Amino acid sequence: MIASGDATLFAIVRLSLAVSLAAVALSAVIGMPLGAALALLRFPGRAAVVICLNALMGLPPVVVGLAVYLLLSRSGPLGSLGLLFTPSAMVIAQTLLIVPIIAALTRQTIEDLWVEYRDEMAAMAVGPVGRIATLLWDARISLLTALLAGFGRAAAEVGAVMIVGGNIDGFTRTMTTAVALETSKGNLPLALGLGLILLGIVLAINAAAWAMRAWSERLGV
């Protein structure tokens, strides 16, 4: 089925990747500055924020789905936008799911590097903007790994996209929701095909993360 290039199957894969990649891009824009700020700023209640952020990494997708559903449903506060059961709703839900992951990993990375670089940058009279730029650049490999972790989580989750997307054929059906549906219908070949592709994607992401680590260690960066 994979080899024959089934059109339905590839439409599903395309939508899944598009939604998850959009969510990762959005989460990077929100999560990385948030994490960097949390790493460098000192304010009352900071410890509580860090603990909450770390805890949110394990947010159950169905809970995020439910929250976004309530927000976007016809009678909800953002119901007038008519986003429920669209790919946009799925991007929003996955973004909420992975912003904590990317922000928490960014905070940890930047904070560790800051402790190491602080004195040296002060001795070289590096200004505040230069400091942030230096930390982000020198942490680039770890930050890319954080993005990959976020993408892996987004691509593999089923609960949130199922609730806010509705698993509508040809419109909001993703790999994970299709596997759930086809399995319950007894259409095992399609479910298995999608499952294999999903597995391949997750495997490829982890291989990429591993290769990047190995490469950066060899370069000593």
Partner 1 sequence: MRAPATDLPLVLDRVSLQAGATVILDQISLAIVQGPPTLIVGPNGSGKTSLLRLCLGLVQPTTGRISWGGRTDAAPLRRALVFQRPVMLRRSVAANVDYALSHAGIARGGRPERIDDLLERVGLSALAARPARRLSGGEQQRLALARALARDPEILLLDEPTASLDPAATRAVEDIVLMAAQSGIKVVMSSHDLGQVRRLAGDVIFLVHGRLRERSRAIDFLETPATPEAAAFVRGELVL
Choose, by CB under 8 A, the member of 54, 73, 134, 183 that binds partner 1: 134
123 contributes a contact to partner 1 by CB under 8 A: yes
Q: HEC profile for the chain? A: CCCCCCHHHHHHHHHHHHHHHHHHHHHHHHHHHHHHHHHHCCCCCHHHHHHHHHHHCCCCHHHHHHHHHHHHCCCCCCHHHCCCCCHHHHHHHHHHHHHHHHHHHHHHHHHHHHHHHHHHHHHCCCCHHHHHHHHHHHCHHHHHHHHHHHHHHHHHCCHHHHHHHCCCCCCCCCHHHHHHHHHHHCCHHHHHHHHHHHHHHHHHHHHHHHHHHHHHHHHCC
Choose, by CB under 8 A, the member of 17, 126, 156, 181 that binds partner 1: 126
Q: How far is the CB of 134 from partner 1 (least distance, A)?
A: 7
Choose, by CB under 8 A, the member of 120, 168, 200, 211 that binds partner 1: 120
Q: How far is the CB of 137 from partner 1 (least distance, A)?
A: 8
What would the x/- binding string for partner 1 be over residues 69 to 108, using CB under 8 A? ----------------------------------------
3 contributes a contact to partner 1 by CB under 8 A: no
Choose, by CB under 8 A, the member of 138, 166, 195, 202 that binds partner 1: 138
- Output the CA torsion sign for 149, 152, 155, 158: negative
Give the count of alpha carbons within 13 A of 102, CB side only: 28
214 contributes a contact to partner 1 by CB under 8 A: no
Choose, by CB under 8 A, the member of 52, 207, 214, 221 that binds partner 1: 221
Count of residues that interact with partner 1, criterion CB under 8 A? 15
Closer of 3 and 123 to partner 1 (Cβ): 123
Q: Which tokens sit at 202?
A: 């997750």
117 contributes a contact to partner 1 by CB under 8 A: yes
Binding segment for partner 1 (CB under 8 A), chosen from 45-53, 83-91, 114-122, 158-166, is 114-122
219 contributes a contact to partner 1 by CB under 8 A: yes
For partner 1, the binding residues (CB under 8 A) are 116-117, 119-120, 122-126, 130, 134, 138, 219-221
